[in-house]
């Protein structure tokens, strides 16, 4: 994850653009949906990472400042393959739907359960990890990730 963010920020493109899922690329029927207010279940672009993390892009305007995601962390998955804290531009907002996700933010650690929410400046060192036995899922919004250079 940290390498993906760093590369996208260095190239001044979104992670979607880097992975070929940007505004010029569509999957299945999502081309018509991208111009609509509705995104049907299963039509959102999905990024499956080798570290057990899955991002599904939710309905949003193309080229907008907000990235809306349904995130899933499998048991043992973390936002960094090597367990190092990451930093990037933007602000993250999240709401937990199921499972438990551990957030390490600076020197503090929080266990996030269903119904818990979070908000932090993404330039602060952070790591998300599922240390439980069931998948952890939540809705995430990342705002302004492309507004400032990678830190």
pLDDT digits (tens, 9 = 90+) for 91-136: 999 999 999 999 999 999 999 999 999 999 999 999 999 999 999 9
Provide the whole-model pTM: 0.72
- Cross-strand partners of 119: 93
Kindly tell me if the per-residue pLDDT of 62 is higher than 60. Answer: yes
Residue among 104, 86, 103 at smallest CA distance from 138: 103
Asked whether the predicted pLDDT for residue 69 surpasses 70, the reply is yes
Which residue in this structure is represented by tokens 């250079």?
149
Sign of the C-alpha dihedral computed for residues 35, 46, 98 and 110 taken in this order: negative
Q: Looking at residues 39-58, what average pLDDT do you find?
A: 82
pLDDT above 90 for 78? yes
pLDDT of 15 reads 58
Tokens 């650690």 correspond to what residue? 109
Asked if pLDDT for residue 27 goes beyond 50, the answer is no
């Amino acid at each position: 994850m940290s390498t993906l963010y760093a590369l996208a920020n260095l190239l001044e493109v979104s992670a979607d653009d880097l992975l070929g899922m940007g505004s010029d690329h569509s999957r299945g029927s999502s081309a018509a949906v991208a111009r609509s207010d509705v995104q049907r279940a299963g039509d959102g672009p999905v990024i499956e990472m080798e570290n057990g993390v899955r991002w599904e892009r939710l309905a949003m305007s193309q080229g907008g400042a907000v990235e809306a995601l349904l995130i899933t962390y499998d048991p043992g998955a973390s936002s960094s393959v090597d367990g190092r804290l990451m930093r990037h531009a933007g602000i993250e907002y999240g709401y937990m739907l199921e499972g438990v996700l551990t957030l390490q933010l600076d020197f503090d650690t929080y266990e996030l359960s269903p119904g818990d929410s979070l908000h932090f400046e993404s330039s602060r060192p952070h790591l998300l990890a599922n240390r439980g036995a069931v998948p952890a899922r939540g809705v995430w919004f990342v705002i302004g990730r492309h507004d400032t250079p990678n830190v």
